[in-house]
Amino acid sequence: MSVVLMYHGLYPGDDTSRIDAEDLPYAVSLENFVAQLDMLRDKQVGLLNINDSGMPDVVITFDDGHISNYDIAMPLLAERGLSAYLFVTGDFVDNRPHFCGAEQLAKMADNGIEIGSHGMTHRFFDDLSDADAERELRQSMVQLASQSGQQIQSISFPGGRYSQRTLEIARSAGFAQLFGSEVGTLKHSDMSSIAPLKRVAIRRGTTIDEFDRMINADATYYAIEKTKHKAKALVKRTLGNRLYHGLYKSISAR
């Protein structure tokens, strides 16, 4: 069984100047990130491979491609001999302030980071037509492969949102590993399922005790988090992606 951790941006001290307001709830301080990595000292941390009979205890992933994944996370991971996934939004590369450029992606690929797709535009895949979804998937795969020098075979869906057709198109495009945002742990049989792999989000307010329960797959913790996730999913379905995301941005900016 594996626990897949989902990170976003990191920040040093109290300096959140490189983090956009809407991203702050999922931004983790350098101090907390180091403490969390130290708690993984006795865990097997690695990437997922459907051909391996065993699975790592913990898998580390980052969404979006924030520059802190390069200048903060990568050195700390390298010091500890740890690998991770970095899911990059194609249009952010060399375009969005405080996000990785192609040079950073190539260096990360050379230092034990597996580069994956996070789409091209960060639009939610369940809002896209089949043609737009296929364009985002294939274009991001080609672009990120060129920029990183790696074969792109994994994807994390922005906002954890997708449709059944999204999954079919992603598999057809050649993505071997699909990651979502539904809370849960993984067993080996999940690797061959078309459903996206479950993860657990690390937030700005995640405590050490909470992190300990995450990485040790505490059943009560995950049951509570799954209930919260289902409630949030219901609100999303009721409001729709546009209204829900607008509400989220408004609350995050306060």
224: Cα separation from own chain's centroid: 21
Rounded (10°) angle between helices 30-39 and 208-215: 40
- d(CA 58, CA 4) in angstroms, rounded, equals 6
Q: 254 pLDDT exceeds 60? A: no
Query: In Å, how far are 5, 83, 184, 193, 222 from 228, measured between CA atoms?
Result: 17, 30, 12, 24, 10
Helix (H) or strand (E) holding 209: helix 208-215
pLDDT value at residue 194 = 87
Mean pLDDT value across residues 79-106: 98
Query: Would you say 63 and 6 are in contact if contact means Cβ atoms under 8 Å apart?
Result: yes
Cα 27–5–2 angle (5° rounding)? 175
Query: Would you say 114 and 85 are in contact if contact means Cβ atoms under 8 Å apart?
Result: yes
Span of 4-8, 98-102, 184-188 with lowest mean pLDDT: 184-188
- d(CA 68, CA 168) in angstroms, rounded, equals 33
Query: In Å, how far are 202, 205, 209, 212 from 14, measured between CA atoms?
Result: 18, 13, 21, 24
Query: Would you say 11 and 18 are in contact if contact means Cβ atoms under 8 Å apart?
Result: yes
Neighbours of 62 (CB within 10 A): 28
> Taking the complete model, does pTM exceed 0.85, yes or no?
yes
pLDDT tens-place string over residues 14-38 = 999 999 999 999 999 999 999 999 9
Mean pLDDT value across residues 152-165: 96
Mean pLDDT value across residues 155-160: 96
Amino acid residing at 179: F
Average pLDDT over all residues of the chain = 93
pLDDT tens-place string over residues 202-239 = 999 999 999 999 999 999 999 999 898 878 777 666 76
Output the CATH code of domain 3-218. Answer: 3.20.20.370
- What is the 8-class DSSP label of residue 99? B
Domain boundaries, the chain: 3-218
197-201 and 177-183 beta bridge pairing: parallel
Give residue 250's pLDDT band: very low, low, confident or very high (50, 70, 90).
low
